[in-house]
Structure 1
Amino acid sequence: MQQGRISFIFLLVLLCQCGVKAVDLTTCEGDTARLICDLTSRVIACESDTASLHCDQGRIKVISANYGRTNSTTCSSGKPANQVSNIQCTHSSSLSRCDGQKECSVSASSTVFGDPCVGTYKYLDVSYICIPLGAIIQKQSSCEGDTISINCNKMIIKVVSANYGRTNSATCSTGRPADQISNVQCTQSSSLNVLATQCDGAHTCSISTSNTVFGDPCVGTYKYLNVSYICQPNNHFIKVSAANYGRTNSVTCSTGRPAYQLSNVHCSQSSTLSVLTTQCNGKQDCSIPATNTVFGDPCVGTYKYLNVSYTCAPNPACLA
């Protein structure tokens, strides 16, 4: 009895130490899947509910927040079609009230955010990170045509915010005519995604500050890139729990594909999990091409995709 009690206590301790983050990843055939433990958290609260952000260690920094609707499935149970059909409903918010706190609760309501789409049943979608105590958010600017270099040495980069455009007339203005710096309402909404894709999880990162990389949000304006990021330790490790290379529905990775490439929805490759666990388990960052060369072809003629579910465990003992 005593031995059983000790084993149970040990299990509780292990579970507390193995607080894992679950991640689902889908990658279309021909692309590359990247598994990374970046410690980003996401919370979704349906309209009239409350979103609770929480950091056991460190303090909250909100990366993005939207009150509205961008798909027809989230928070749709029991709702009529006309309340979930508008998936172009956005109302972004910085949720700065939560930054720096250990816990933060926000009501997902039009009273708080306003109503961006009357008649649509909305939800609040928040992504945030827990910044370690003592960590400082770094900021860098790079003028159009230059290259920005971020270096976190042995720690990893986490981009918090980014904009390629112009929001003031002073930055990167030397020698520029007035007409190139007068537009201070120039923002590129995809800037954060571009930087995060390129830099998150890396120790160092260099990226060209150019229209080629970011697109041109304001033609004729001389732009610059503003980036905020943190350098954080990465002591989490990948454990793949499920994976399939094939096709189990006709919707995923279907854009532009003919019907005959999508009709086989019973396509699975039994060796997928083994390949992923061999390649990725125990690593902090893992990239693997979603191709027949890597996985074999379980259904010739079908356009396939790779589905991966994995967790980020805070110490290697949790991977067993």
Structure 2
Amino acid sequence: MQQGRLSFIFLLVLLCQCGVQAVDLTTCEGDTARLNCGLTSEVIACESDTANLQCDQGHIKVLSANYGRTNSATCSSGKPANQISNIQCTQDSSLSVLTSRCDGKQNCYISASNSVFGDPCVGTYKYLDVSYICKPPSVIIQTQTSCEGSTFSINCYKQLIKVLSANYGRTNNDTCSTGKPANQISNVQCTQSSTLNVLTTQCDGKPACSISTSNTVFGDPCVGTYKYLKVSYICHPYNFIKVSAANYGRTNRITCSTGRPADQLSNVQCLQSSTLSVLTTQCDGKQDCSIPANSTVFGNPCVGTYKYLDVSYTCGPASLT
């Protein structure tokens, strides 16, 4: 239960677009702490639990969702093998359910259950996996289209790009159709599923991005069709990590205690004074930072005690210099 709670807290690290947001993150010994000032948040709720999408500032915009199972590890504790073996369980309507109920709200609670989403795989213990952003009123979702053979460019100037959706192909007869014969624009079911991954890899986190609208970059999802690239994105402020407090050790008997014997939890005066300097050196000024919570990195302040890394940090905007 403790581990699930900590994972949930971590996954709800939300970025404040117009100021500084404080984040507290606790990571058990042997796990990896990830400090993140990125835009996208993820929530995973096990079947029969309730998912909470929350935006302290701005409004929810759901990017992707699935109620089902795509791996054997998530929400597997105490479940028999036959209930977690089907990892091809997806429910296509999950996204539409989430967007209709949650988009535009600051808070959204939704039950991860068959009664809400239907049952895509009877007998499998499922979970709801949701990715979303908190979109402030001042952030405008922009859409650009680039015809095949041209160059697609985004410029956010003194802000950063976050691509929300993208497709290289053709979904209507009108876009990029001037002078093209009917047989090159008639296929309007042409989509390339890898387009978003290409764009996020090339453009996310940069102030500007240019990419060739071509089969060379995206592959050819429909040979003989004249295609175009359509991208939706936002420009958001620079946000960087600033660690304010940190300790690798143990100051209570509850945190990261599941399955641990009493003698590994009894020392609650376990402090490592160098923890803060390690974190500030490795993480300050970055947008993302991953660091193992182990004695190799921080030293061992209390041999025999099962420790955890407790970090407080802020995500704050800064302008380009």
| Cα distance in 2 for residues equivalent to 1:182 and 1:23 | 54
TM-score under structure 1 length normalisation: 0.66
Aligned to 2:87: 87
2:167 counterpart letter in structure 1: N
Aligned to 2:77: 77
| Cα distance in 1 for residues equivalent to 2:172 and 2:106 | 33
Cα deviation for residue 22 of structure 1 reads 6.0
Identity %: 72
| Cα distance in 1 for residues equivalent to 2:125 and 2:69 | 8
| Cα distance in 2 for residues equivalent to 1:35 and 1:218 | 41
2:239 counterpart letter in structure 1: N
| Cα distance in 1 for residues equivalent to 2:24 and 2:150 | 37
| Cα distance in 2 for residues equivalent to 1:23 and 1:38 | 18
In structure 2, the gaps of 5 or more residues are: 1-19, 28-33, 248-275, 291-309
2:190 counterpart letter in structure 1: C
Taking only aligned residues, the RMSD between alpha carbons, in angstroms, comes to 3.2
| Cα distance in 2 for residues equivalent to 1:23 and 1:222 | 51
1:82 counterpart letter in structure 2: N
Q: From the superposition, tell whether residues 145 and 311 of structure 1 become closer, same or farther in structure 2 (CA, over 3 Å).
A: farther
SS in structure 1 at match of 2:172: coil
Alignment map for 1:20-31 (pairs within 5 Å): 20=23
Contact 2:55 2:107 in 1 (8 A): yes
Residue correspondences, number: 240
Q: From the superposition, tell whether residues 194 and 277 of structure 1 become closer, same or farther in structure 2 (CA, over 3 Å).
A: farther
Q: From the superposition, tell whether residues 38 and 182 of structure 1 become closer, same or farther in structure 2 (CA, over 3 Å).
A: same
Contact 1:140 1:227 in 2 (8 A): yes
| Cα distance in 2 for residues equivalent to 1:167 and 1:77 | 43
| Cα distance in 1 for residues equivalent to 2:26 and 2:69 | 22
Q: From the superposition, tell whether residues 180 and 116 of structure 1 become closer, same or farther in structure 2 (CA, over 3 Å).
A: farther
Contact 1:36 1:201 in 2 (8 A): no
| Cα distance in 1 for residues equivalent to 2:106 and 2:133 | 11
2:99 counterpart letter in structure 1: S
| Cα distance in 2 for residues equivalent to 1:218 and 1:23 | 48
Q: From the superposition, tell whether residues 228 and 117 of structure 1 become closer, same or farther in structure 2 (CA, over 3 Å).
A: same
Alignment match of 1:185 (pick from 189, 192, 199): 189
Contact 1:150 1:205 in 2 (8 A): yes
Contact 2:283 2:289 in 1 (8 A): yes
SS in structure 2 at match of 1:104: strand
| Cα distance in 2 for residues equivalent to 1:187 and 1:179 | 17
| Cα distance in 2 for residues equivalent to 1:90 and 1:116 | 6
**Residue 233 of structure 2 corresponds to residue 229 of structure 1:** yes
2:142 counterpart letter in structure 1: Q
Aligned to 1:56: 56
Alignment map for 1:1-320 (pairs within 5 Å): 19-20=22-23, 37-92=37-92, 93-94=95-96, 95-97=98-100, 98-237=102-241, 278=281, 280-284=283-287, 313-315=314-316
Cα deviation for residue 117 of structure 1 reads 2.4
Aligned to 1:6: none
Aligned to 1:265: none
SS in structure 2 at match of 1:20: strand
1:91 counterpart letter in structure 2: Q
Q: From the superposition, tell whether residues 72 and 23 of structure 1 become closer, same or farther in structure 2 (CA, over 3 Å).
A: farther
| Cα distance in 1 for residues equivalent to 2:86 and 2:237 | 40
| Cα distance in 2 for residues equivalent to 1:141 and 1:43 | 31
2:164 counterpart letter in structure 1: V
In structure 1, the gaps of 5 or more residues are: 1-16, 25-33, 243-272, 288-308
| Cα distance in 1 for residues equivalent to 2:75 and 2:67 | 12
Q: From the superposition, tell whether residues 196 and 124 of structure 1 become closer, same or farther in structure 2 (CA, over 3 Å).
A: same
